[in-house]
Amino acid sequence: MEIVKRKEKNEKREDIALKVTWIGLYVNIALTAFKIVAGILGRSGAMVADAIHSLSDFATDIVVLFGFNFVKKPADADHDYGHAKFETLIAVIIGALLFIVGIFIMVNGIKNIMSIASGNDIKKPNIIAFIAAFVSITVKEWLYRYTIKTGKKINSSAIIANAWHHRSDALSSVSTLIGIGFAVFLGNKWVIFDPIAAFVMSFFIIKVAIEITKSSTGDLLDQSLSKEVEDEMIDLIKKIDGIKNPHKIRTRRIGNDYFIDIHIEVDPNISIKNAHEIATKVEDNVRNRYGENTDIIVHVEPYEIVDEINGGI
């Protein structure tokens, strides 16, 4: 995820996340109900299956809403570092659910392809099912774009993961639209394109699920920030007057915030007050670059002037 320089916002980050998720929840409820009715009235098994798939989006919205109620809680006696890791856990759960949905679509697609190839008859769907598929694609694509834009704005892995779940539903509806469209306008023999398209789309859904789960699991297990980010931090600190040899950098991410531990060397002849001011300058510069909630611990050590002189001979 790209590093962004955070700015003051009128709304709290967690409130923005909850707002976009509530909107997604209401849209998913209405869309699922519409697709079920359209699938039954339109005699389309594909549309009913697509509606059931939409229920998975409803489930992930519930997971996000539940999780962010913990994320927004301040640090307490039992959680000195706050509750931000709940957000990472949310993303892992969503990635896992997305993976399951992808496997389900793949397996179901294979079964339908084999069924049609075996000569089983499938009733020709009604035009209302085709219209419902088109509406679903339009609405879910809009919801994806709105959600992922918000997720990137607040730098939330959970909201971005949920956005991709919306996109998976849109892709699912594309295959449904193709299958229903061929069946409605060209006849039952073209219905096989529905499960074929679903099978192809399942690969993209599974790929996104793996990427989301892998990234979020890394954060959950305190994986270090990328080498590029750590090198950038070192370069930033090196530019501060009075600092020698910043080293032993340790980094991790908790939710949206960075936690950094670094050692610096300063002139052993300066006062404790001056050394403290240098360390404070490090903290200020890092927070200005990576966000005011960045947690940084600076270990101050003396550097050896004699060794430095000898090294220069």
In a domain, 174, yes or no: yes
Separation CA 146–CA 153 (nearest Å): 11
Judge if 243 and 207 occupy the same domain.
no
- Domain extent, residue 26, equals 13-220
pLDDT tens, position by position, 16-47: 888 888 998 899 889 989 988 988 888 776 78
Closest to 212 measured CA to CA, from 60, 66, 58, 12 = 60
pLDDT tens, position by position, 47-85: 877 776 776 667 667 777 776 676 666 766 766 566 667
Judge if 132 and 66 occupy the same domain.
yes
How much is the average pLDDT of 270-283? Answer: 89
Q: Is the pLDDT of residue 143 over 90?
A: yes
**C-alpha count within 13 angstroms, C-beta hemisphere, residue 133:** 29
Tokens of residue 24, six digits: 């997604």
Among 220, 251, 267, where does a domain finish? 220
Among 170, 188, 220, where does a domain finish? 220
Q: Is the pLDDT of residue 302 over 60?
A: yes
Judge if 233 and 213 occupy the same domain.
no
273 burial via Cβ count (<10 Å: 0-12, 13-18, 19+): exposed
The structure's pTM equals 0.62
In a domain, 7, yes or no: no
Judge if 190 and 254 occupy the same domain.
no
Q: Between β-strands 257-266 and 244-254, what pairing exists: parallel, antiparallel or unpaired?
A: antiparallel
3-state secondary structure the chain: CCCCCCCCCCCCHHHHHHHHHHHHHHHHHHHHHHHHHHHHHCCCHHHHHHHHHHHHHHHHHHHHHHHHHHHCCCCECCECCCCCHHHHHHHHHHHHHHHHHHHHHHHHHHHHHHHHHCCCCCCCCCHHHHHHHHHHHHHHHHHHHHHHHHHHHCCCHHHHHHHHHHHHHHHHHHHHHHHHHHHHHHCHHHCCHHHHHHHHHHHHHHHHHHHHHHHHHHHHCCCCCCHHHHHHHHHHHHCCCCCEEEEEEEEEEECCEEEEEEEEEECCCCCHHHHHHHHHHHHHHHHHHHCCCCEEEEEEEECCHHHHHHHHC
CATH number at residue 149: 1.20.1510.10
pLDDT for 34 equals 92
Of residues 215 and 59, the one with the higher pLDDT is 215
Judge if 132 and 167 occupy the same domain.
yes
Question: Total domain count for the chain?
Answer: 2
In a domain, 2, yes or no: no
Judge if 96 and 231 occupy the same domain.
no
> pLDDT-derived band of residue 8, with 50, 70 and 90 as boundaries?
very low
Contact 147, 20 (CB under 8 A): yes
Question: From its phi and psi, is residue 121 left (phi > 0), alpha (psi between -120 and 50) or beta?
Answer: beta
Judge if 169 and 299 occupy the same domain.
no
In a domain, 199, yes or no: yes
Among 220, 249, 273, where does a domain finish? 220
In a domain, 6, yes or no: no
Closest to 72 measured CA to CA, from 61, 58, 86 = 86
CATH number at residue 295: 3.30.70.1350
Judge if 271 and 171 occupy the same domain.
no
Judge if 211 and 245 occupy the same domain.
no
Judge if 32 and 93 occupy the same domain.
yes
Judge if 190 and 253 occupy the same domain.
no
- Position 226, amino acid: S
In a domain, 24, yes or no: yes
Judge if 40 and 123 occupy the same domain.
yes
